[in-house]
């Protein structure tokens, strides 16, 4: 249902006020970036967990590709609800710190950004691998770097399809190398969005290794492109190296852990 809605939003495309749509779409040169992401999934009760993510995102500078300067520091938190082994929901907030990466700019160098987000994740086993559907909706307040910038409000509509396919084992279990292709489409809406509803399309290939049931590491390369907010005819592009650490400690007392796997009891 969400997916369908998302596609309707693509609708008619108009240029932002004051900007003229080019006769053909224009693609900016791709930027190179590197992200270090941590994902915490901290079990706090039988059905609740604390979703804690911290990302450090770097991007190229004039002289240094990939890791020339810090782009954003990103704190995403939520309380998650485990509906079943395959389905969970989260609701929480994001505080993102945006650094001014325009090296020529004389505006402020750092601005905060706030979001409220909720997410619906569905997993499906298929053959010996898993596929996942993730719907994430974000209500986002951003401001630009000039001193007098106003907060603008937008909604983001995100759908991600992902698979995790074990490479060195017959199933996803500890000591297993896996590959994870993923595709995410991020749409946006709001007063400020006139002609550029497709904010980002991300295509990623990740290689991961499950160290223990509670610790996994992964690294991948992502290509993304999307309409710039200023002009729907102009597309930005990125190549991003991503490094992930996934950890899921269980801070419950031992006696409350049992049985650890039965949610329906």
Partner 1 sequence: MKSTLRSWPLIVLIFSMLCFSPSIIGQEELHYTGPFQVGNYTGEVDYTYQITNGDTLLQGPFNFRRSNLGALLNQKDKTFSFSGDFIDGYPNGPWQFLFGEFESDKKTEVIGYQYRVNINGIQKEAKGNISMGKPDGLWTISEALIADSKIKVTLFRSTINYADGVPQQSFRIEYGKSTLVGRFLRNGLAHDDWTMFGEGSTETWTFDDGVLTDIELGTEEERKSIPIYQESFGTFKIINLDTRFSQLLKLQLSENDAHSLQEGITMVLDENASHYKKLDDILSQLGPSEFMPMFKVKVPYAPLDSVENKQLVKIKNSYEDAQRLAKGLLENTQLNLLKRSDSEAQFLYEVVQHLNTFFVGPLKKLASYQQQDVLDYATREQLMNHLFAKGVPSKRVSVSLGEEELQFFELEDSDNYEFEAPAYESLSQIAQYANESLRHIADLLYKKVENEQQQQEFVTLEARMITQINQLNQVIDSTEASGKVLQALESIKTQAENNLNSYSTLAKTEGKLEKAQLLVGCLNTFQNLAQNIGSLPQKALEIQELYKDAVWNPFMANIMDEEVKKRITSAYHNVLIPHILTQVNSDLGCEKAIALNRLLVNLHNRMLQLRDEDTVKLERKLRKERNPNTVLELFNLQSLEK
Q: How many residues bind partner 1 (CB under 8 A)?
A: 28
Under the criterion CB under 8 A, does residue 224 sit at the interface with partner 1?
Answer: no
How buried is residue 63: exposed, middle or buried, by Cβ count under 10 Å (0-12/13-18/19+)? exposed
Under a CB-based contact definition with an 8 Å cutoff, are residues 59 and 242 in contact? no
Least Å from the CB of residue 114 to partner 1: 26
Output the smallest distance, CB 142 to partner 1, in A.
Answer: 29
Which secondary structure element, helix H or strand E, spans residue 142, and what is its range?
strand 129-142
What mask, x for binding partner 1 by CB under 8 A, covers residues 89 to 128?
A: --------------------------------x-x-x---
Long-range contacts of 252-257 (CB under 8 A, 24+ apart): 252/43, 252/44, 252/45, 256/45, 256/46
Build a one-symbol-per-residue string for 24-53: x at contacts with partner 1 by CB under 8 A, - elsewhere.
---------------x-x-x-----x----
Taking CB under 8 A as the rule, does residue 130 contact partner 1? yes
8 Å CB contact between 111 and 132: no
| Cβ distance to partner 1 smaller for residue 88 or 196 | 88
Q: How far is CA 187 from CA 7, 9, 31, in A?
A: 9, 8, 20
Q: Does 248 bind partner 1 (CB under 8 A)?
A: yes
Tell me if 164 contacts partner 1 by CB under 8 A. Answer: yes
For CA atoms 254, 259, 260, 265, give the dihedral sign: negative
Residues that bind partner 1 (CB under 8 A): 39, 41, 43, 49, 80, 82, 85-86, 88, 121, 123, 125, 130, 132, 164, 171-174, 210, 212-214, 216, 246, 248, 260-261
């Amino acid at each position: 249902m969400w997916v369908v809605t998302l596609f309707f939003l693509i609708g008619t495309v108009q240029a932002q006020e004051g900007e003229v749509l080019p006769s053909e779409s224009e693609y900016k040169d791709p930027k190179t970036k590197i992200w270090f992401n941590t994902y915490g999934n901290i079990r706090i009760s039988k059905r609740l967990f604390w979703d804690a993510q911290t990302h450090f995102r770097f991007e190229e500078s004039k002289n240094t590709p990939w890791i020339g300067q810090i782009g954003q520091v990103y704190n995403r938190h939520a309380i998650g609800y485990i509906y079943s082994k395959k389905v969970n929901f989260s609701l929480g907030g994001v505080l993102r710190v945006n650094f001014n990466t325009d090296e020529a700019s004389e505006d402020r160098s750092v601005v905060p950004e706030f979001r409220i987000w909720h997410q619906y994740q569905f997993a499906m086993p298929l053959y010996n691998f898993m596929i996942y559907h993730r719907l994430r909706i974000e209500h986002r307040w951003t401001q630009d770097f000039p001193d007098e910038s106003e907060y603008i409000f937008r909604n983001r509509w995100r759908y991600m399809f992902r698979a995790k396919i074990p490479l060195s084992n017959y199933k996803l279990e500890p000591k297993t190398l896996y590959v994870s292709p993923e595709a995410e489409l991020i749409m946006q809406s709001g007063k400020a969005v006139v002609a550029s509803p497709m904010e980002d399309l991300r295509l990623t290939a990740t290689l991961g290794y499950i160290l223990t049931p509670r610790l996994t590491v992964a690294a991948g390369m992502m290509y993304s492109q999307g309409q710039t907010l200023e002009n729907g005819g102009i597309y930005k592009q990125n190549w991003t190296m991503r490094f992930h650490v996934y950890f899921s400690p269980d801070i419950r007392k031992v006696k409350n852990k049992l049985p650890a796997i039965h949610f329906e009891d």
